[in-house]
Structure 1
Amino acid sequence: MPIYENTLYPAPFFLPGGHAQTLYPAFFRTLEVPASAVQRITTPDNDFLDIDFHYVMPGYPQKRLAIISHGLEGNSKRSYVKGMVRALLKAGWDAVAWNFRGCSGSLNRTLHMYNSGSTEDLKSVVNFCAGRGYEEIVLIGFSMGGNQILKYLGDPDEIVHPNIQASVVFSVPCDLVGAAKAMDKSSNAIYLKNFMRTLKEKMLQKHELFPERVDVTRLNEVKTFRDFDETYTAPWYGYKDAMEYWKKSSSVQFLDRVRIPTLLMNARNDPFLCPTCYPTGQAHRSKNLYLETPAEGGHIGFVRISDDDYYWSEIRAVEFLGQVFGWY
């Protein structure tokens, strides 16, 4: 499918570079969306997921639904999630923003949390929503949430729900090995420190629930994603080590098998990504993967200053879905 290296996205002149475009929304974007109906669903392992339902017309569900997956240590209340919800509602889509385990503000009951390659919880949300009568479902994902979606859609061992018609993902670390190396750069220290802070807090909470299974004696020595994944993620999920976890969970290896129209948009100046996170070869070969790699945008940035306050990612998602469903 087409590869667009230079889309029409123009970064604001006062946000030069990927770091400024990444940080601006987190600090300066505030917006409100219609009140959500919070639903807690039970997972097959008797844990729970908290999901926010947003309706075009409360009390009158549409037949069309978008399921939105946030990024690492995000949640359904992040500005990039709310911005996407608002844009989709205006376009006539009901929207569900779901929280990964441990990200809704409530500590989950089981040892497991979430990881880049885990798709079981995404499937639980899809099945629940399809069971409520939604006939056309699309998946929208950011960063880690986007990697999960791409892996789910392309993994030969997965059975993709037939109601899923399209997907749109942004700022996806398709190659987790390379992305982990990128995050070790000194220029990314501020982001890594923040991720480690919140992940360590969750490990302390898990230790209180499972003192014999969660060792926190060396928690202060955990400084990088390799440290964290070697200590916790890999052993919890049956991987030999962090490298095996990253390799098996990277969505780049599954892109050739994606069978529904999918837009992947990764900015060239995204500080979290490495060269192998721009899968041009797979996009050239695929009938379903559309790749856009604008020069600007940062990580989950794509800031756009306008009266309507829609960001470029939101505009492109609605446009792409309109093309897939033949609206224009």
Structure 2
Amino acid sequence: MPKWTRQRLNTPDGDFIDVDWRKDEIDLSPERPLVILFHGLEGSSSSHYAQAFAHETHQRGWHMAVPHFRGCSGEINWAPRAYHSGDFEEVGWILSRIREQHRGPLYAVGISLGGNALMRWAGEMGQTATKYVDAIASVCSPIDLTASGKAIDAGINKWLYARMFLGTMKPRAMEKLKQFPGLFNPHTLMAAKSLYEFDQVFTAPLHGFKNTDDYWARASAKPGLSRVQVSALVLNACNDPFIPASSLPALNQVSAWVKLCQPEAGGHVGFASGTFPGDLQEMPWAVTDWMSQHG
């Protein structure tokens, strides 16, 4: 298990972002590469993929940091907002702050929700992105939020996964309501049975979207992949239960800077190898190896 040391960044709107650094950073040269990992929905530095990347970066002698989206570091954030799949302004602010601290190569990896936000940022920034990062990667990211949202809210996914996500998202939303009474209707939120309904009550209105449909359409990274001008890897397994293979981008929908990797198997942030339950190091190794060649 990796050990982390925490840094708190104060945001321009009077809130904070907690960044966990792998604890052995102090022994590494500041010129060594740094991997910044943006976690997925309800994720953190404790997520299995963060631990796998921590192991891989340690093996390579690289630095690593995990910024927590607001409310995901174990302490409720102070502002009347949370985080969302298209939070590219937040991603950009975090990258700019960490770029100020680091002299060596800087790579950014986004897992699931974090990958969509990262790719959304790259599409917005164009060539300017290279001022902050040397290469980026999204892993199992729902870059077409409408397609993925419908997939999670349907069939067995709704019973297994949507219910699991809502089990943590609803209590956090209710904590936010205690901070800011009247922010949303608690009865409507607690009655939500799908991510669509939750986003309609909470995520969309708190972050400047008209409704869930507007949020899912405007926050999706897929339309902006043709504008990306920094080395980028977009990795999606075709059997990901959250992301229909039919919604994945084709070569004619991305810029020449974007490398598409769409293996048949891997599930959602799995890519296990070996005998059951499997070794989860293959994916972090492949991503960091690609970055070392393209950054």
- Structure scoring higher RCO (CA < 8 A, sep ≥ 6) equals 1
Q: Quick check: which one's helix share is greater?
A: 2
Q: Which residue of 2 aligns with 1:166?
A: 135
Q: Cα deviations across residues 161-182 of structure 1 (Å, max 9, x unaligned)?
A: 6031101211011100111111
Q: Which residue of 2 aligns with 1:249?
A: 219
- Aligned length in residues: 291
Question: 5+ unaligned residues in a row in structure 1: which ranges?
Answer: 1-31
Distance 1:98 1:305 in 2: 31
Q: Note the 1:136-175 alignment, pairs <5 A.
A: 136-155=105-124, 159-160=128-129, 162-175=131-144
Q: Note the 1:231-250 alignment, pairs <5 A.
A: 231-250=201-220
Contact 1:136 1:164 in 2 (8 A): yes
* Alignment counterpart, residue 34 of structure 2, candidates 44, 52, 65: 65
* Alignment counterpart, residue 12 of structure 2, candidates 26, 38, 44: 44
Give the fraction of aligned pairs with identical amino acids, expressed as a percent. Answer: 29
Q: Which deviates more, 151-160 or 108-117?
A: 151-160
Question: 5+ unaligned residues in a row in structure 2: which ranges?
Answer: none
Shift of 1:238: 1.9
Q: Cα deviations across residues 80-129 of structure 1 (Å, max 9, x unaligned)?
A: 11111210222232011111100111000011100011123222321221
Distance 2:185 2:85 in 1: 22
Distance 1:156 1:57 in 2: 29
Contact 1:174 1:276 in 2 (8 A): no
* TM-score, with structure 1 as normaliser: 0.83
Q: What amino acid is aligned across from residue 52 of structure 1 in structure 2?
A: D
Q: Which residue of 2 aligns with 1:91?
A: 60
* Alignment counterpart, residue 210 of structure 1, candidates 171, 176, 180: 180
Shift of 1:260: 1.2
- Structure 1 residues 304 and 46, CA gap change in structure 2 (3 angstroms): same
Shift of 1:204: 1.1
Q: What amino acid is aligned across from residue 84 of structure 1 in structure 2?
A: F
Q: Which residue of 2 aligns with 1:4?
A: none
Q: Note the 1:1-328 alignment, pairs <5 A.
A: 32-33=1-2, 35-54=3-22, 57-63=25-31, 64-155=33-124, 159-160=128-129, 162-188=131-157, 189-282=159-252, 286-305=255-274, 309-325=279-295
- Structure 1 residues 223 and 57, CA gap change in structure 2 (3 angstroms): closer
* RMSD of aligned residue pairs (Cα, Å): 2.0
Distance 1:65 1:293 in 2: 26
